[in-house]
Structure 1
Amino acid sequence: MDHYAVTKVAAVQAAPVFLDRDATIEKMETLFAEAVSKGAELVVFPESFIPCFPLWCLVRAPIDQHPFFERLYQNAVQEDSPAWRRIAGIARKYHAWLSVGVTEKGSVSMGAMWNTNYIFSPDGEMAAKHRKIMPTWAEKLVHSFGDGSTLKVHDTDLGRIGVLICGENSNTLARYSLLAQGEQIHISTYPPCWPTRRVSDIPGGYPIEAVNHGRAAAHSFEGKVFTIAAAGVLDQEAISQVAEGDADLEEFLQHVARPSTMIVGPDGEYVTEPLRAEEGIIYAELDVNKEIALKGVQDIVGGYQRFDIFQLHVNQTPLMPAYFFAQENDIASDGGDSEPEGNQ
C-alpha cells in the first residue's frame, strides 16, 4: 500500500533589512535555523524578501524612483553569485527545504530584474526557480516579465510543489496549469502591503488580508491541495526610507492595510491560525494523503473535468533577448565551387 508524505512546514512573516541583501540573508538564516530547530522540513519566506519588496513603485512618482532602482539592482541576487551560494549553503547547513522570494538580476542587462522565488533542497541544490510571469500594476516599473519555462511543478520527497507569486494567485490559468501538473503543495508569497488608493474606507484601498485568504482558500479547495502563503512585514525603517521625509506619505504607510501569513488545507480551511501584522513563524503538519478522498469527490484535473470541451496550452519555452548562431562554410580548394555544408 502506498503512503504519501506527512511534512511539518513553517511559514515566516518578517521584514527584510530594507535594501540590504547581505544583512537580510543573515536575518533569514536566523529565522530559518529557528524554524528547523522546531522540526520544520520546509520553511517558506515572503515575496521579494531579499533585499525587499519595491514598495516605492506604488507610492512614488516614476521620476523619483531612480535611486531606489539603482540600490535594488546593486542588492539583487544573481544566480551562482556569492550571495546565491550563501543562500544555498544555508539550506545545506540546516538540511531542510528553503523557499525564499528574491529580486533576481540577470547576467546580461544592468537593469533587468525579476520577481523570483527560489526553492533549495536540503543538499543546497536549487530544486526550483519561478519568475513571476506578469509584474502587477506599478511593479512593471521595476520587474521584467517572466516566461512559461518556470511555470512548473517540482517533484520532491515532501510532495509535488508549485509556486505562484502574489497576483499570479488570481490568474486562473496559471493556477490551473500547476494543478494540471499534479501539484500537491502550493506556495504563494505576498508583499508587506499593497496600497492602491490614497482615500478609501480601507487604509490603502485594498483589503489584502481578506483577498489573500480568498486566493488561498480558492486554490486549495478547487485543487484539493495545501497552500502555504507567506507575507512580508512593513517595518518603520522601510517606511522612513520610502517616505524620505514626506510626513504625509509616512503617515499613509503607517496605517495602510497589512496582510497575514496562513496555511490552508485541501478543504479550504485554515490548518492553523494565521499570523497577522507582526513578525513570527507559524507551523503546520501537511498530510498529502488527505487530498485523496477530497479529489475523489471533485477533481478538476481528473474526473471532474471535460477535456473534450476545455483545453489549456502552456508555452514553457525559455525566452531570451536574442538567439545567436554561427554559420561556417567550408570553401573548397578548387575556388569555392562546392556547396556550403550549412550550420555547424
Structure 2
Amino acid sequence: MNVKIAVVQDSPVLLDLKKSLEKVRELSLQASEQKPDLIVFPEAFLPGYPRGLSFGTTVGSRSEEGRSLWLRYSNNSIKIPSESTTALGEIAKECDSHMVIGVVEKSESGTLYCSVLYYDNNGELLGNHRKLKPTGTERVIWGEGDGSDLTTYTTPFGKIGGLICWENYMPLARMHVYQSGVDLYIAPTADQRDSWQATMKHIACEGRCYVIGCNQFATKDDYPTDLKEELVGHDHVLCKGGSVIVDPFGNVVAGPLWGESGILYADIDMDLVKKGKMDFDVIGHYDRKDVFELKKIAAEYIFTSS
C-alpha cells in the first residue's frame, strides 16, 4: 500500500488561538491539494511553542507579569472536548485526511499539558497524548502526563502513534510505542538541532517503522509586538525547522527542511515496514522476553489512610 504524507513546517499566530485555527485550516487545505492520507503539524502548534519567553521565572521566584503572560497562554489553549477540537475535526473532514497536531491542552483544574491530538478523515477525535516529561523550563508552564494515553490508533493505512520531542529519548517509552504495533511513528518536536536527525533515523531503524519528524519554522516576526523585547539577544530565526520523513531502514525520503516554512510530501510504501521485520523485529524475533520484560504502570492510584 502506498500512502501520501504531508508534514507542515510553519508557525501559528502565537498566543492567538482563533487566528491560529484559521491558519491550520489554510495550511491543511493547501496540503489537501496533494490528497494526502495524513497531515502532521508540529509540537504545541496551538497556540504556539513559546520559545525564548521566561514567563517571569527565576529559581525561587515568579513575577506578576509572568503569571499574566501564563494566563494569556492558558486563555488561548485548548480544552478537550471544545469548539476548538470540533473545528480541528471539521478541518480533517474537509481535507479528507487523517490529521495529527500538537496543542497546549487546558485541563479542568487549570494545569496545561503539551498534547498531541489524533483525528481520522471523518473528523473524529481518535485520542490524545499528554507529554510525559516537559524538558527544562517547559516544566514552568506544562504539567506531566500520566502515561495512560500511550497507545496507537488503527487507520486504513496502518497504526499511527508516537512521542513528543524529548520523550523520544526515553527508551522505555519508545519500546511501549513499538509494542503497540506502530507503523507510522509521529514525532512532533521543537528540537532544531542537527543531532535530532540522527534520533529520527535511529527510531526508524529500531522500530522498523516510518518516522515523521515535524517542527516549526519561527522568527521574531511571528511574535506579538509586546513580547519582542524579551527576545533581544536571540537570533532572528528562533526555530529553523528540520522536519523530515524517514523510512524503516533509516533512509530519508523527504527533507530535512531547513530555514523556511513549507510542506513536505512523500509517497511511502507501507510494505517496507513488513520487509524490515525480516532482519530486525524489536517486538518479535529480536525481543528476548525470557531476558527482558516491560511493564506499563500508569494512572493507577492507591490511597491509604492510617
TM-score by length of 1: 0.81
User: Corresponding residue for 1:41?
Assistant: 37
Q: Secondary structure at the match of 2:217?
A: coil
Does the C-alpha gap of structure 1 residues 77 and 256 become closer, same or farther in structure 2, counting only changes over 3 Å?
A: closer
Q: Which moved more, 1:95-104 or 1:209-218?
A: 209-218
Report Cα offsets for 1:15-47 as digits up to 9, x if no partner: 110100010010010110111111211000000
2-structure distance, mates of 1:46, 1:293: 29
- The Cα RMSD (Å) is 2.1
1:1-344 equivalences in 2 (<5 Å):
5-56=1-52, 61-62=57-58, 63-64=62-63, 65-107=66-108, 109-110=109-110, 112-191=111-190, 208-239=192-223, 241=225, 243-246=227-230, 249-254=231-236, 258-317=240-299
CA contact (8 A) 1:148 1:318 kept: no
Q: Secondary structure at the match of 1:116?
A: strand
2-structure distance, mates of 1:57, 1:169: 24
Kindly state the Cα deviation for residue 315 of structure 1 after the two structures are TM-superposed.
1.9
Kindly state the Cα deviation for residue 289 of structure 1 after the two structures are TM-superposed.
0.8
CA contact (8 A) 2:159 2:183 kept: yes
Kindly state the Cα deviation for residue 221 of structure 1 after the two structures are TM-superposed.
0.6
CA contact (8 A) 1:100 1:117 kept: yes
Kindly state the Cα deviation for residue 56 of structure 1 after the two structures are TM-superposed.
4.3
Q: Which moved more, 1:292-301 or 1:10-19?
A: 292-301
Kindly state the Cα deviation for residue 55 of structure 1 after the two structures are TM-superposed.
2.0
Alignment size in residue pairs: 298
TM-score by length of 2: 0.91
Amino acid of the structure 2 residue aligned with 1:68: L
CA contact (8 A) 2:207 2:282 kept: yes
Q: Which moved more, 1:249-258 or 1:28-37?
A: 249-258
Does the C-alpha gap of structure 1 residues 269 and 60 become closer, same or farther in structure 2, counting only changes over 3 Å?
A: farther
Kindly state the Cα deviation for residue 222 of structure 1 after the two structures are TM-superposed.
0.8
CA contact (8 A) 2:77 2:103 kept: yes
Kindly state the Cα deviation for residue 58 of structure 1 after the two structures are TM-superposed.
5.6
Q: Which moved more, 1:293-302 or 1:52-61?
A: 52-61
Does the C-alpha gap of structure 1 residues 58 and 308 become closer, same or farther in structure 2, counting only changes over 3 Å?
A: farther
1-structure distance, mates of 2:156, 2:78: 27
Structure with greater strand share of residues:
2
Kindly state the Cα deviation for residue 59 of structure 1 after the two structures are TM-superposed.
8.3
Q: Secondary structure at the match of 2:297?
A: coil
Radius of gyration: which is bigger? 1
Does the C-alpha gap of structure 1 residues 222 and 255 become closer, same or farther in structure 2, counting only changes over 3 Å?
A: same
CA contact (8 A) 1:129 1:150 kept: yes
Q: Which runs of 5+ in 2 are unaligned?
A: none
CA contact (8 A) 1:104 1:113 kept: yes
Report Cα offsets for 1:185-229 as digits up to 9, x if no partner: 0000112xx6xxxxxxxxxxxxx3322211110100111100111
2-structure distance, mates of 1:28, 1:214: 29
Q: Which runs of 5+ in 1 are unaligned?
A: 195-207, 323-344
2-structure distance, mates of 1:318, 1:226: 32
